[in-house]
């Protein structure tokens, strides 16, 4: 496990773009799968019998976990709703620590912070504090800010 990546190899710009897009798509799919699976595991651990759904309805790709009955307590709501973002965020943080490639690290910083913020916002939505619109824009904005911040930090450290 290497927290400090090797210096970035210079590649041709088109290769960098292709690789970046491919990594983004892989991390996006992993993000969706791990996020919803984390909800599923939390619900099962609390005694629910959830179903997991994935779908594509252009331009959206989505997943959701459906419980067999309403949550029994406020604590269950918070635990189940926040499990997706926190579970996926921890997986991406572990990947960030394990992968040396700087482009992958940069994308992983985006997905890590996006998922962690989604875990917080989703729990707030579950208890009725926030509307659904916050779940689509809030985490992406947090992820974009982290992407910019980490790009600057990586540049200052000489990693980029």
Whether residue 120 is contained in a domain is answered as yes
Q: How far apart are CA 157 and CA 71, in angstroms?
A: 47
91 within 8 A of 61, measured Cβ to Cβ = no
pTM, rounded to two decimals: 0.85
Whether residue 111 is contained in a domain is answered as yes
* Domain count along the chain: 1
Taking only the tens place, the pLDDT of each residue in 110-134 is 999 999 999 999 999 999 999 988 8
Whether residue 37 is contained in a domain is answered as yes
Whether residue 34 is contained in a domain is answered as yes
Whether residue 108 is contained in a domain is answered as yes
- Domain span at 133: 13-156
Whether residue 7 is contained in a domain is answered as no
Per DSSP, the three-state class of 159 is coil
Q: What is the DSSP string of 9-61?
A: PP--HHHHHHHHHHHHHHHHHHHHHHHHHHHHHHHHHTT---EEEEEEETTEE
Whether residue 103 is contained in a domain is answered as yes
Whether residue 60 is contained in a domain is answered as yes
Residue pLDDT tens, the chain, 160 long: 556 665 556 667 778 888 889 999 999 999 999 999 999 999 999 999 998 887 777 667 778 888 888 899 999 999 999 999 999 999 999 999 999 888 899 999 999 999 999 999 999 999 999 998 888 889 999 999 999 999 999 888 887 7
């Amino acid at each position: 496990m290497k927290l400090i990546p090797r210096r970035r190899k210079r590649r041709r710009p088109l290769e960098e773009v292709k690789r970046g897009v491919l990594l983004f798509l892989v991390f996006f799919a992993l993000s969706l799968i791990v996020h919803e699976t984390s909800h599923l595991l939390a619900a099962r651990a609390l005694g629910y019998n959830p179903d997991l759904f994935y779908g594509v309805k252009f331009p959206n790709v989505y997943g959701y976990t459906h419980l067999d009955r309403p949550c029994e307590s406020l604590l269950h709501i918070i635990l189940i709703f926040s499990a997706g973002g926190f579970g996926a965020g921890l997986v991406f943080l572990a990947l960030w620590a394990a992968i040396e490639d700087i482009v992958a690290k940069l994308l992983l910083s985006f997905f890590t912070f996006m998922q962690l913020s989604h875990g917080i916002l989703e729990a707030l939505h579950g208890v009725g504090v926030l509307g659904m619109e916050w779940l689509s824009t809030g985490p992406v904005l947090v992820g974009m800010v982290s992407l910019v911040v980490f790009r600057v930090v990586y540049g200052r450290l000489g990693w980029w």
